[in-house]
Structure 1
Amino acid sequence: MESVVATMVGRESEQEVLSAFVADPGGRSLVLRGDTGVGKSALLEHVADVASRHGYRTIRAAGVEAESELPFAGLHQFLYPLLSSIDQLDDTHRKVFDVVFGRSQETPPSVMTLGIAVLDLLSLAASQEPLLLVLDDGQWMDASSIGVCGFVGRRLTGSSVKLVVVLRSDLPSGFDTAALPELPVTTLSEKASEQLLDTRHPGLDPRTRRLVLDEAQGNALALLELPPYVRRAGRASGERLGYTGIPLPVRLQQVYGARIEALGDGVRAELLRGALDGAGATAGSPRGTRYRMTGADEAADCGLLDIDPLTGDFIFRHPLVRSTVVQTATPNERRAAHAMLAQVHRDDLERRATHLAASTIDPDEEVAAVLEAAAESATVQGGALSAVAWLTRAAELSESHEERSRRLGSAAYIAGHSGQLDQARQLIRSGSGIGDSPSSVVTSGYVALFEDGDVRSSHRQVFAAIESMRDAGVNERDEILTRLVDLLLAISQYASDETAWERTHELLGGLGDLVPSHSRIFEDAWGDVVRRGAGVDERVERAFVGLADLEPWGVTRLGVAAYHVDTLSQYRPHLQRTVDREVETGALADVMTMLHLIMLDQIAVGEWDEAGRTGQRCLELTTAHQHDLFTYHTHAYLGQVAALQGDIERARELQSLVDTWARPRGVGFLTQITDAIGTTTALAEGDYEAAYLHAIGITPPGVFRPYAHQASRTLLDLVEAALHTGRAEQARTHALAAQRADLPGISPRLALVTYGALAMTATDPGEAETLYRKAETHPHSANHPFELARIHLSHGIRLRHTQGRKAARLPLTLAAETFERLGAPSWTERARAELRATGASALAPSAHLAALTWQERRIAELAASGLTNKEIGQRMHLSPRTVSSHLYRVFPKLGITARAALRDALAKVPGDQHV
C-alpha cells in the first residue's frame, strides 16, 4: 500500500479534500464511493497517513461478506481496540457493549441506545488523542453495525473523532441512506492513467501499453496489475483480454487466478478456508472471531497476502483476492472447506449453520435442526430475512416430508412477517403437498388479510383450519395451531364483527389449554375491552417481562394489547428499540404495526407533529411493500392527526379514502376510525349535530356496542356532542353506562374520561365539582393532555356560570395553554373566548413555567418524579446529553440551581402542571 500511496497520481483534488477533512477542527464523517480497484484504498491510506501526522490514532475495520448477516460483527472490529476504554465506562454502558462482544444474551440494544454508548466511548478515547476511524468495504458490514455507524457519523460535530467509510459503487449498502457526506472516487483520466502506468511499469512496448490502457479504462488496480499478467500470458502482440463487455472486476480475477493456481494444494485450501470465513479482512482485526490462516507464506510471497503488523496474521491484499480464491475453487473444494469451518465454529450457532448449509448436499436431519435453531436465534435478533434463508435450506435438507413441509411453512410465515408476501406465497407453492396444510393456511390467510384486507374469506379459511386440527386430535401445544389462533384473532379484530368474534370465542374456548396465555391476552384485549379488559394491563405487564425471549411478532401483539388498555407509553421504548432492530433485516410487517403503536402513543401524549412524521414513515414502508391493509390503516391514523390539528380538508379527504376502501370489505376496525375522524372533525368545527351523528354511528348512547373498539374511546365525544345539541338525557345515560361498565378499572385514560363525562352531565353542583377534581387530579391525567384540556374547558364554563368569572379563569387558562401547545387551533380559540368572557384580556401564563417549551416542561416533570436522564431519554427518545442540556436551560427559568429543587418549583403550579 505504501508504494501505491507514494505513486498516487490523478488524485490531487481528492487528496486536498481529505487533507482538509483531517485538518478541519472538530469531528466529521466522509464516505468514499467508487468502483472496485479504482483507488479507494490508496486514498484511505493517504488519509490515514495525514491523520498520523496530525497526531491521530487510527482504528481500522473492514466489512466482510461472510459476516454481513451477523449482528454487530462490523462494530466489534471498531470497538475491539477500545476495550481498555470500555472498562472505564459506567456499568450501564458496559452492559450495552457486552451484547456486542457476545458476553451477554440480553435483548440487543436499539441503534439509538448503542449509538449513544459508542459516542460516549469515542469521546472518552479521544480525550487522550484524536481518533480516525476507517472502514473499508463498508457495503459488507452488517445492518446493525451500519445503523450505529450512521447514527454516530451524523453526530461527530464537536468531538475529536473522524470517520471515513469506503463503499463499492456497484453494490447497494445500508450506508446509502445514512445521509453522510460523500466524496466520489471516479476512474482516472486518460492522462493520469498514462502517468500511473508509465511510473509503475516503465518501458512497456507501445502495443502492450495501449492494450493495458484500453482494458484498464482508468481503473488504478488494473493499471498496476495487468502489465505483468499480459507479458506472462504472451498477450504483448496486441490481442484483447477476455470478452468484450466483461466488467473489469471479473477480468481482474484472472490476474489473481493465475497466481492462485500456481500455489500448492495445501496453501490454496488454506486460502479458501480463510476467504469463505472472512479471514484477514483487514489489519488489526480481533483474533478469535474468524478463521486464522497459517502456512500461507507462499501466497504472501506472490503478493496475494500481506502481514498484519500488529498481530502477525495473514490478511488478503484486496477483496478481489478473496472472491477469486472462492470462484477458482471447485464445488467439492468449497464444500470441504465449509465442513471444516463448521467444526471450527461448532460453538457459534449462526456461523456454524452458515458453513453447514454450504457443505451439505444430501438430506441430513441433524444439519437441518442446526439451521432451524440458527433461524430461531436470528429471528429474535432482528435477522428474520436470514431466518427465512436458513429455514428454506433446512427444509431442503430435511429427511422426512413432514419436517420439510413444517420448515417451509415456518419460512413462509416469517417471510410474511418480513414484508415479503410474494416470497411467502412462493415458499408455499414450492412445498409439494403442503398447499392445503394448516401451515399453508397460516400464510395464505396472512397474505389475504394484509395484502387486500380480506377479513371474510380469511376468517372462514383460518377458522376451518383450526377446527380440522382440533378434530384431528391435537392434544398438546402446537406452533402451527398457535399461529392460526393468533391470526384468527387478528382477523377478528380487523373485522370487528360481533358474530365473527362470538364464533371465535366459542372455538378458542373449546381448545382450553392448547391456547397459550399470550393468545388469551390478545383474545381479551383485541375484541371487546369494555367487557373483557379488566386486569389485562397487569397481564400485559407480566408478559413484557420476558421481552428478550419474544419474537418480534410477539412484541407487536403485546403492544397492540397495551394500546387497547391505554398503557402504551411504558412500552414505547421497547417498541422503538425493536423497530430500530428489525427495520433493515427483520420483521418489517411487524415494524409497520409498531410504528402504528408509536404513532398512537404520540397522539395520546400530545406529540401530534411527531405522530404525523411517524405516520409518513410508516406509509412509505406499507406502500413500498404493497400491504394495502396497513396502508389504509396508516391513512386512518393520519386522518385522526389531521382532525385533531384542525386540518379539516385533509382529515375529510383521508376519512373518505379509508372508508371507501374498508367498508365494502367489512373492515370494521377501520370504518370505526373513519367515524371517529368524522366526530373529531365536527367537534373541531363546532358542528355538534354532525359530531353526534358520527358518534352514535359507532355506538348508541347508554351502551357500548360489543366489539366496537372506538365505542369507549369516543365516550367524551358523544357526551359533549349530546350536551351541545340539547340531548342532556342521552349524555347522562352514556356517562352512567361508562360508570356501570367500570371503565375506570380498565385503563387510566378511561378513568379520566369517565370521571370527566360524569362531571359534565352531573346536575348537582357539588357532585360535579367533586368529579371534575377527581378527573383533573388523576395521577395519569397529564399523560392525556387533550382529554384533560377538554375537561378543564368544561369545568371552567361551569364555574363561570355557578361561581363567577374569577373562579373559572384557572381551568380555562390551563385549557387554552394546553390546546395551544398541542396545536389544536379551534379548541384554543374556543378556550380563549371563554377566558375573555371571564374578563381576562389574554392568557394568564402559569407561574414559573411560562417560558418553558412543551419539551422542557415535560422533561422537568419527569426529572422531578425521580427519573434519571437516561430514563427520561428512553421515555422521550432523546439522548441523555440532550436531556441534560434541556435541564440546564430549565433551571434558570424556574429560578433554581439544583435538580432537587425541581419538585418544589413545580409544586407552586396548580393542578396538572406538576408531577
Structure 2
Amino acid sequence: MAAAGDAPAGLVGRDDELAALGSFLDVARTDGAALLLTGDAGVGKTALLDAAVELAVAAGMRVIRGSGIEFESEISFAVLHQLVLPLSAELDRLPASPRAALGVALGLEDGNTPSRIAVLNATLALFTEAANESPVLLVIDDLHVVDQPSIAAIGFVARRVTGRRLGVLAARRSGPDGAFRPTGVPELDVAPLSDGDALRLLSRRFAHLPRRILSAVADDAQGNPLALLEFAGSTEVSGDRAGWTGGPARDVNALFGDRIRQLPGRTRDLLLLSALEGSGDLSIVQSAGAPGGLEELAPAERDHLVMVAEDDRTIRFRHPLVRSAVVDGSTAEQRRAAHRRLADVLVDQPERRGVHLAKSTTAPDESVASVVEVAAQTSLRRGDPGGAVAMLRRAAELTPDPEEGRRRLSQAAYVAAWVSGELDISHDLLHEIKGDPAGQPIGATAAAALLVLATEGDADTAYTMLLPAIEAATSVDGPRTGDVENALFTLTLAAGYLGGPEYWQPLMDLLDRFPNPSPASAATLARVHHALGSMSDELLQRLDAEIAGLNEQTDTDVVIRTALVASYVDRLPECRGALLRVIRAGGAVGLSMPALIHIALDDLYSARLGAASDAAAELIALSNDTGYPLWAQVGHYSAAMAAAERGDLDECIEHCGRIWDWSGPRRVHRLVKCAHLARARAALGVADFDTAFRHASEVCAPGELPPFNPEAVWAATDLIEAAIRTGRLEEARAHAAAFRAAGVERISSRLALISALCTAMTSEPGEAIQRFDDALAISGIEAWPFELGRVHLAYGEVLRRQGRSRDARVQLESARNLFADIGARSWESRSAAELRATGMTRASSGSDLTPQELEVARLAAGGLSNPQIAERLFLSPRTVSSHLYRAFPKLGITSRAALRDALEAQGRSSGAD
C-alpha cells in the first residue's frame, strides 16, 4: 500500500492489476462494467481503488465512494446512503415513486415501507440518471462489512450496468468474514507482492535501512504491502523492532495500537467517536465530542492514521485496521460512553440512534428499549425485516417489564415468520417466550399459530390457540394493536383451511367487535371468505381505491393482504405489479410465497396456463426450500388447475394426489376441496361427466353454496354441467338458483359470466338462446378467455341439439379458437368434436359416411363405450349402435378394433380432417 503522498500510479509490483483496472475503466465509461477486488487485509486493495479513482478522474468520470464500516453494519442502507448523498440533484429529478422509495429507505423522508425491489430499482435509476450526464464510477471499499440491504443494492446495480456508462468497483477481504460475492461480477484477486517487488518497495521508501534489514522485513511481511511499510517504519537501523514477531495483519494491528496509545487522550477520544460514528461525518463527531473544535485530531493526522478532507467535513481512517485498533484499544466503558454521546446527537435519525443507544446500555432501561423498538420499526418500514428482528430482540433484552419484553419478542417472532421467512429465528424467539412463567402475549400466540399452520399444516391447533387469545384481547374497549390484527389474520387463514361451521361461526361472531374494517384488513378477509356476496358496493369501491394506489404502496404486508382480498373479487390483475415487486425484492422471503400464490392465480384466471404452471413450480420449490409446506400445497393446486385446463390429465392427477396425501390427514379441508375442483375440471375436459360430477360434489352438494367455501363459487359451472350431462337436471337447476341467490354477479365480469352461464345451461330450451346471448353481452368478459370459451361451447351444444347447425358452428368455432389460443387442448378437442357433429367436417369423397356416423366412429376408435358416446353427443345408446352398424361396412371393416386404422387410412387417402 502506498503511503500518504505517494502517487497511486507509482505502485510497485502492480502493473498487471493496473492494466486490468485500466481495461475495466475503458469499458465502464462507455458501456458499463463491474469488478470486485479480493485479497487479504493490507494486501493493497485500497491502494488499487485509489489508483482506479485517479485514472477515472483523469478520463472524465465522476467518482462516488463509499466504504463498509464494521460498526455500522447493523444500520440498514448505511453504505447506500454514502453513495446516494452526493447525488441530491439527480435524486430530485427522479419520478415521484422511485424518489420516495429511496428517500424512505435512506431515512431522508417519511412514508410507507418501500419493497426491496422498489429500492433496488430506484437505486439503479438514480445512478443511471447520474451517468446520463457523464460516466460514473461507484467505488466501495470493505464490502465484507457492508450492511446487508446495501449489499443487495450494490449487487443489483453491478449486474445491470451494461449500456449505462456506469462502473461499479468494489473490494472485499478474503476469508469467511465476507461471504457476499455478487453473482456474475468478475473478480480480480490481489495477491501479495513477490519477493523482488517487496524489496523494491522497501528500497524506495526506506533507503536508509541496510539491505539485510530490508530482507528480514520482507521475509516477515510475506509480501503484504501494509505490513512491509509498517514493519520497516518501526525498525531501527540496528535492526531493533517494536514488538512484532510475524503474522502480517495481526502485527500491523499491534503496531497501530502502539501508535494510537502514544496519542493524547483527547485525540484518542475523537478517534473513538469517529470509529463508532462510522459515516465519517465530522459535524456529528464535533457535536458529540468537540464543541470547541477538532484541533485535537491533528496528532493523528500527522501520524497518517487519519485523513481529514480539505473542507473539514469528513474524516477517513487510513486503513480499516486503524479503526479496529482504535476500538480495540478502548475500554468497554469508553465505548459505551461514546455510543451514548453519539445517540444524543442523532435524535433525528431513529435507526442510528437506536443502534448507538442499544450499545450504550447494559442494564434494562425502558426509555432506551422504546427508542430501539422505534429503530426496529424504522428498519421494517425501510424494507429490512432482518434488521428489524435483530433490533426488536435487543429492545426486548433492554426492557425491564417482562410482559413488555415478551411483546417485543413476539413482534420479532411474527416478523421473522411472516415477512422475512426466518423460521429458525422465529422458533428460537418463541422458545424464549415459552420459557417465561408469565402469560404469553397475543403477538407470541399469533407467531406460534402461524408457524404451526404454515410449517405443519395444523390448522386445528392454530385455531384453538388463537380464538380464545383474540377473544380475551378484544373483550375490553381500547385500541386494536397490530398484534391483534396479525392474530385475527392468522385465525382467518386457519378457519378458512378448516372450513366447517364449528370453526367459522365463532369467527363470524367475533367480527362484531371489528366494525367498519379497512378493505385489506383481516376482518374484511374473513367476511368475504365467509360469503362472497357480503362484499358491499361501498367496500368494493374502497378496495378499488386501495388497489389503485398499490403500485405506490411500499408496505409489503399491505400489498399481500390487499391482494388476498382482491383474489376473491377478481382484482388480481391490478395488483400484479406490486406483487412482482415483493417477489423480486428478495428480502421479504416469507411474503414472497403468498405473492407467488397470487401471481399463479392471476395467470390461471387470465388463462395464461403455461405461466401459471411456472409460477406454481417456483412457489412449490421456494416453499419446500424454506420450510413452508402449506404454501407448497397451494402451489400444487394452481399446478393441478392449470394442467386440468390444458388437458394434462396425468399431471393434474399427480398434483391432486399430493394435495390429498398431505392435506387429508391434517384435516386441511379447503385444500382437499381444491384438489376435487381440479379433478372435476380435468374430467370435464375429456367428457368424463360421471367422474366430474363425483369430484364436483365433493366441493359442495348440489343446490347449496355454503359459507366459508369459496371453491363452491368457482366450481359452480363444473357441478352444473356434470349434473346436466349425467341426467340430474333438477339438481343442476337448484344449484344455478343457489348461485343466483348468492348475489355475486355484481362483483366482477367473471362472476357475472359464470352466473349467466349457470342460468343459461339450466334454462328451458325456449329461453336458453336468450340467456346465452345475455351472457355474451356482458362487458369485460374478454379478460376471462377460459370461461368465455366455455360459454361458446355450451351455447354451440345447445344450438346443435336444437338442429341449428349453422348457428352452432359459429359458437363452436369461437370456442375452439379460444381454447386453442390458450393451450386448453382437451377443451379444444371437445369443441372440435362438436363442430364435426354439425357436419362442418366431411368424410372423404370415397365414403358415404354421414357426419354423425363419422363422429360416432371417431369416438369409438378413441375408446369410448356406446353409452359414453351417447352421453357426449346427446344421443341414445341405441342410435349410437345403429350408426356403428352402418359405418362398419362403409369402412370395409367388421370389428370395432379396426376402426382406428380404417379412419387413419381414409384420412391419408383423402386429406380429410
Classify the TM-score, shorter chain.
Answer: 0.7 to 0.9
1:448 aligns with 2:474: no
Q: State the distance in 2 between where 1:573 and 1:133 align.
A: 30
Q: Is the 8 A contact 1:476 1:514 kept in 2?
A: no
Q: State the distance in 1 between where 2:263 and 2:792 align.
A: 84
Matched positions, count? 829
User: Which string of whole-angstrom CA distances, capped at 9 and with x for unpartnered residues, describes residues 778-822 of structure 1?
Assistant: 333233232223323333444566685664566555544443443
1:489 aligns with 2:509: no
The Cα shift of 1:339 comes to 0.6
Change (3 A) 1:177 1:455: farther
Q: Is the 8 A contact 2:547 2:574 kept in 1?
A: no
**Among candidates 549, 572, 575, match of residue 571 of structure 1:** 575
Q: State the distance in 2 between where 1:614 and 1:281 align.
A: 46
Q: Secondary structure at the match of 1:256?
A: helix
Structure-2 residue corresponding to 1:165: 170
Change (3 A) 1:694 1:208: farther
Q: State the distance in 2 between where 1:133 and 1:608 align.
A: 43
Change (3 A) 1:479 1:156: closer
The Cα shift of 1:165 comes to 2.9
The Cα shift of 1:340 comes to 0.6
The Cα shift of 1:97 comes to 5.2
Change (3 A) 1:760 1:62: farther
Point out where structure 2 has 5 or more consecutive residues left out of the alignment. Answer: 843-913
Q: Secondary structure at the match of 2:161?
A: coil
The Cα shift of 1:664 comes to 0.5
The Cα shift of 1:249 comes to 4.6
Structure-1 residue corresponding to 2:468: 464
Q: Secondary structure at the match of 2:745?
A: helix
Structure-2 residue corresponding to 1:421: 423
Change (3 A) 1:697 1:250: farther
Q: Normalising by structure 1, report the TM-score.
A: 0.80
The Cα shift of 1:500 comes to 1.4
Structure-2 residue corresponding to 1:826: 826
What letter corresponds to residue 625 of structure 2 in structure 1? A
Q: Is the 8 A contact 1:143 1:174 kept in 2?
A: no
**Among candidates 526, 530, 555, match of residue 529 of structure 2:** 526
Q: State the distance in 1 between where 2:109 and 2:379 align.
A: 15
User: Which string of whole-angstrom CA distances, capped at 9 and with x for unpartnered residues, describes residues 412-447 of structure 1?
Assistant: 333332323333333344343236554443333232
Q: Is the 8 A contact 2:221 2:227 kept in 1?
A: yes
Q: Is the 8 A contact 2:198 2:218 kept in 1?
A: yes
The Cα shift of 1:341 comes to 0.5
The Cα shift of 1:833 comes to 5.3
Q: State the distance in 2 between where 1:596 and 1:289 align.
A: 51
Q: State the distance in 2 between where 1:465 and 1:175 align.
A: 42
Q: Secondary structure at the match of 1:52?
A: helix
Q: Is the 8 A contact 2:114 2:554 kept in 1?
A: no
Q: Is the 8 A contact 2:9 2:51 kept in 1?
A: no
Q: Secondary structure at the match of 2:42?
A: coil
Superposition pairs for residues 265-664 of structure 1, below 5 Å? 265-280=265-280, 294-295=294-295, 296-308=297-309, 313-417=314-418, 418-431=420-433, 432-434=436-438, 436-469=440-473, 477-509=480-512, 511=513, 518-529=521-532, 537-538=540-541, 540-541=543-544, 552-580=556-584, 583-584=586-587, 586=588, 588-664=589-665
Q: Secondary structure at the match of 2:752?
A: helix
Q: Is the 8 A contact 2:33 2:162 kept in 1?
A: yes
The Cα shift of 1:269 comes to 1.3
Q: Is the 8 A contact 2:421 2:590 kept in 1?
A: yes
Q: Is the 8 A contact 1:521 1:539 kept in 2?
A: no
1:31 aligns with 2:36: yes
1:180 aligns with 2:185: yes
Change (3 A) 1:370 1:90: closer
Structure-2 residue corresponding to 1:691: 692
The Cα shift of 1:712 comes to 0.9
What letter corresponds to residue 84 of structure 1 in structure 2? A
What letter corresponds to residue 488 of structure 1 in structure 2? L
Q: Secondary structure at the match of 2:362?
A: coil
What letter corresponds to residue 755 of structure 2 in structure 1? T
Structure-2 residue corresponding to 1:788: 788
The Cα shift of 1:625 comes to 3.0
Q: State the distance in 1 between where 2:826 and 2:781 align.
A: 22
Farther-moved stretch of structure 1 (657-666 vs 168-177): 168-177
Change (3 A) 1:347 1:469: closer
Q: Is the 8 A contact 2:107 2:349 kept in 1?
A: no
What letter corresponds to residue 63 of structure 1 in structure 2? G
Structure-2 residue corresponding to 1:5: 8
User: Which string of whole-angstrom CA distances, capped at 9 and with x for unpartnered residues, describes residues 130-164 of structure 1?
Assistant: 22222223344444444444444333333322222
Change (3 A) 1:576 1:229: farther
Superposition pairs for residues 715-754 of structure 1, below 5 Å? 715-754=716-755
Q: Secondary structure at the match of 1:744?
A: coil
Q: Is the 8 A contact 1:307 1:314 kept in 2?
A: yes
What letter corresponds to residue 308 of structure 1 in structure 2? A
Q: Is the 8 A contact 1:704 1:711 kept in 2?
A: yes
The Cα shift of 1:351 comes to 1.3
The Cα shift of 1:574 comes to 3.1
1:40 aligns with 2:41: no
CA RMSD of aligned residues (A): 4.0
The Cα shift of 1:356 comes to 0.9
The Cα shift of 1:301 comes to 1.6
Q: State the distance in 1 between where 2:443 and 2:226 align.
A: 52
What letter corresponds to residue 459 of structure 2 in structure 1? V
Q: State the distance in 2 between where 1:154 and 1:423 align.
A: 30
Change (3 A) 1:172 1:640: farther
The Cα shift of 1:698 comes to 0.9
Q: State the distance in 1 between where 2:308 and 2:644 align.
A: 65
Change (3 A) 1:272 1:644: farther
Q: Normalising by structure 2, report the TM-score.
A: 0.80
Q: State the distance in 2 between where 1:100 and 1:11 align.
A: 39
Structure number with greater Rg is 2
Farther-moved stretch of structure 1 (20-29 vs 810-819): 810-819
Change (3 A) 1:173 1:798: farther
Structure-2 residue corresponding to 1:138: 143
What letter corresponds to residue 782 of structure 1 in structure 2? E
Q: Is the 8 A contact 2:284 2:342 kept in 1?
A: no
Change (3 A) 1:95 1:238: closer
Q: Is the 8 A contact 1:485 1:515 kept in 2?
A: no
What letter corresponds to residue 698 of structure 1 in structure 2? V
Q: State the distance in 2 between where 1:673 and 1:698 align.
A: 7
Q: Report percent identity of matched pairs.
A: 33
Q: Is the 8 A contact 2:234 2:242 kept in 1?
A: no
Q: Is the 8 A contact 1:207 1:237 kept in 2?
A: no
Point out where structure 1 has 5 or more consecutive residues left out of the alignment. Answer: 243-247, 843-915
Q: State the distance in 2 between where 1:580 and 1:310 align.
A: 41
User: Which string of whole-angstrom CA distances, capped at 9 and with x for unpartnered residues, describes residues 877-904 of structure 1?
Assistant: xxxxxxxxxxxxxxxxxxxxxxxxxxxx
1:57 aligns with 2:82: no
The Cα shift of 1:86 comes to 4.1
Change (3 A) 1:376 1:677: same
Superposition pairs for residues 179-218 of structure 1, below 5 Å? 179-188=184-193, 196=201, 200=205, 212=217, 216-218=221-223
Q: State the distance in 2 between where 1:233 and 1:494 align.
A: 82
Q: State the distance in 1 between where 2:700 and 2:763 align.
A: 22
Q: State the distance in 2 between where 1:823 and 1:480 align.
A: 45
What letter corresponds to residue 732 of structure 2 in structure 1? A
Farther-moved stretch of structure 1 (652-661 vs 139-148): 139-148
The Cα shift of 1:546 comes to 9.1
Structure-2 residue corresponding to 1:913: none
Farther-moved stretch of structure 1 (826-835 vs 319-328): 826-835
